[in-house]
Structure 1
Amino acid sequence: MKLLRSDRFPAFVLLAAAAAGLIVANSALGPQAADLQHTVVGVPGLIELSVGHWIKDGLLAVFFFVVAVELQFELTNGELNSPRKALQPAIAAAGGVLVPIAVYLVVTGGSDAASGWPIPTATDIAFALGVLAVFGRGLPSGLRIFLLALAILDDIVGIVLIAVLFTDDVQLGMLGVALVCLIVFRFLTGLLDTRGRPVVVGLLIVVAAATWFFVHESGVHATIAGVALGLVMPQSPALRTRHALEPWVNGLVLPLFAFSAALVVIPQVGAGELSPAFWGVLVALPLGKIVGITVAGWISQRVGPRGAAPALALGDLLAAGALGGIGFTVSLLLSELAFDGAPGIRDQATLGVLAGSVVALVLSGILVSWRAWHHRRLAATTAANTPT
């Protein structure tokens, strides 16, 4: 369990799961895996979804619950709990969202793939922190804080995009029942410290599942239920729940989603025949993020109030921008949602997410290693010149 709570190991598991999905999809097992993905299971007359949808809409809601708990903490007690702290990463996050969108739209050039513009806006915090943990020995703590705040703000953008863009024919009655369930969930969390705690935990699970069901039936994307549950839960029990769920999210939920999303057959075509969606994501993730975050981060340090946060050198901002280009989890979900009715384009956009994230992963590994070496050398020089 300790490994699955670390910064490094979950990133390797996630990458291995995605690679396994690609390998399986392009092997003799591909057709069987696709059939399993489309197998419908559920409760007849109540809810029946394909295995792929249970993973994307069901299990991933648990991941978004954990994200929402982290978000709640950062907004109240963490690095985003005041406008002064949040200003610089907010400006950098805006650049890291707007520039990739612009790059994607330029590359796709008004084609059918243009609707995939939300895909390159996301940053995978697990991967980004994993790269920092592996290659970043000696980096200033300010860079990790800046990156964490940046990724949290990216998550907010992703949640808003999912809630606003991928909601169809909202059933207000179902949404109202979901709201009632949410209120009951919030009330029950206040009873967690009573003697009947096991009963309360059981009721919380039932009410959480009911909330998810009614959100799903309302037409709002079901992962938003996880966000809502994480935000309304009081912080102390929410953090304990997050701690308990973290190994399961890192070791099962995210790898299973990565494997499922990566079950894509690589098209046997020349580069010129690939969809603009592939090229748009491939370019927008590494290039758009590094340019957007670096430039906006540099500007933020000159327009914000003095002392808002320790200034980051341009090289550190470049490293943060490269880390921001590792889209992966939320980008894969956005790819699935943006091209839900066009599986051919969706598969190529998914390949673009995987390829673009790998490019950003390699680039960030190089830049983070360089900056870590630079800061270790500075520390050694300072120590050598300090009188004893």
Structure 2
Amino acid sequence: MRIKHTLTDFIESEKSGGLVLIVCTLISILLANSSIGQSYLAAWHFDLGGHSIEHWINDGLMAIFFLLVGLELVEEIYEGQLASLRSALLPISGALGGMLIPAGIYIALNVGTATTSGFGIPMATDIAFALGILSLLGSRVPVSLKIFLTALAVIDDLGAIIVIAIFYTSSLAWTNLFLALGIFAALMILNKIFKVKNLILYILGGIVMWYFMLHSGIHATIAGVLLAIAIPYEKKTGNSPCHRMQRWLHYPVAFIILPLFALANTAIVLEGNWDKALGEPFALGIILGLVIGKPLGITLFAFLSIKLKLCKLPKGLRWRDMIGVGMLGGIGFTMSIFVTLLAFDDIHIINEAKLMILLASLAAGILGYTWLNRVLKEKKD
């Protein structure tokens, strides 16, 4: 019951959190293109302790977001959709297809260009927006569909984290990396051998690990995932350190951290000829990757895994429902924008890529909602 209650709380917070993200995005774009646009943009680049406010948000606060993603992944592995290999294979295969096909489309359109490094952008799914739109369909949505989308998006986020760690690391400071990994190992020993459950010790260790990871060359947010793995988890209690940390973080992440990320990173100045960017290879790669590649990859790989008898379709779900979930998987936003910041250096390309992500995510959301609204209505009738 506790796991089901936690999932309900999570979905509800993501529903309202997604709406907050939409509002923050609109406000940020409007302010960036208003008479105070320059001042608004400058505010995010204000120096605070040697780093801009935007940098603190992207490398600091977003580590807390990744910590929450990691905690949710741990819970799914212990007691959720990923608890057994057979039940986990469907969302895993769907997420794998939803990463490989969009990346393949992007690379095919950008091979040999200066923007090839953006292949990771259309690989991501924004769980807040996807679940938020799914929740707009109300009680018609089967619980199994919500659980599948949640597991799919969490695995997708893990895939994005792995891609960031492997492909968006320019150079390594080995001493700092070993120190960060040494702290991670020490936290694991506290958990697994000494059975320490004091969250304060893990939080303090996590902060130090984040500091060394920040200076290692690997993106600092990876420390959030490592900390999540190290925090103790106990089955069927609902009150383990992992559960408590999740409850503490859900609302701050949904209503403070992600809105700040949206405000800081969607301050896009729309130039008079912004629409010309639609024909650029990177723009086509992002749009086609998210809008077409995501549903194609998710549905195709899920279908193949079932045909190969590796897993089975959850009770109450139809392939038409899965296609709709695949469409919602094309909502990139948070993770796609995050990867954009790592993939490109040119501010004009970054801004244009962000705009393409917003357009593609909007299209994916409308298509997914329209499709599911129709097929779920047919199912009810």
Specify if TM > 0.5.
Answer: yes
In structure 2, how many angstroms separate the alpha carbons of the residues matched to 1:301 and 1:307? 5
Matched, 1:281 2:286: yes
Query: Which amino acid in structure 2 is aligned with residue 319 of structure 1?
Result: G
- Residue pairs, 1:181-330, within 5 angstroms: 181-186=183-188, 190-192=195-197, 201=200, 203-235=201-233, 236-269=240-273, 271-274=275-278, 275-305=280-310, 307=312, 309-310=314-315, 312-330=317-335
In structure 2, how many angstroms separate the alpha carbons of the residues matched to 1:322 and 1:306? 22
- Confirm or deny: 8 A CA contact 2:95 2:298 kept in the other structure: yes
Segment of structure 1 superposing worse, 128-137 or 245-254: 128-137
Closer, same or farther in 2 for the Cα pair 1:99/1:311, shift >3 Å?
farther
Greater Cα radius of gyration, structure 1 or 2: 1
- Residue pairs, 1:1-388, within 5 angstroms: 6-42=13-49, 48-108=50-110, 110-186=112-188, 190-192=195-197, 201=200, 203-235=201-233, 236-269=240-273, 271-274=275-278, 275-305=280-310, 307=312, 309-310=314-315, 312-339=317-344, 341-377=345-381
How many residues end up aligned between the 2 structures?
A: 363
- Confirm or deny: 8 A CA contact 2:13 2:250 kept in the other structure: no
Q: For residue 6 of structure 2, what is the aligned residue in structure 1? A: none
Q: CA deviation at 1:324?
A: 0.4
- Confirm or deny: 8 A CA contact 1:93 1:154 kept in the other structure: yes
Query: Which amino acid in structure 2 is aligned with residue 14 of structure 1?
Result: L
In structure 1, how many angstroms separate the alpha carbons of the residues matched to 2:277 and 2:81? 45
In structure 2, how many angstroms separate the alpha carbons of the residues matched to 1:178 and 1:38? 28
Q: CA deviation at 1:309?
A: 3.9
Q: CA deviation at 1:291?
A: 1.6
In structure 1, how many angstroms separate the alpha carbons of the residues matched to 2:112 and 2:135? 40
Deviations 1:72-113 (A, max 9, x none): 111122111222112222222222112111222333353222
Q: TM-score, normalised by structure 1?
A: 0.87
* SS of structure 2 residue aligned to 1:366: helix
Structure 1, unaligned runs of 5 or more: 43-47, 194-199, 378-388
In structure 1, how many angstroms separate the alpha carbons of the residues matched to 2:284 and 2:110? 8
- Confirm or deny: 8 A CA contact 2:90 2:311 kept in the other structure: no
Q: TM-score, normalised by structure 2?
A: 0.89
Deviations 1:201-249 (A, max 9, x none): 2x54433221111100111100001010011111120121111111100
Query: Which amino acid in structure 2 is aligned with residue 119 of structure 1?
Result: I
Identity of aligned residues (%): 35
Closer, same or farther in 2 for the Cα pair 1:53/1:309, shift >3 Å?
same
Closer, same or farther in 2 for the Cα pair 1:270/1:358, shift >3 Å?
closer
Query: Which amino acid in structure 2 is aligned with residue 330 of structure 1?
Result: M
Segment of structure 1 superposing worse, 116-125 or 134-143: 134-143
- Confirm or deny: 8 A CA contact 1:118 1:161 kept in the other structure: yes
Q: CA deviation at 1:62?
A: 0.2
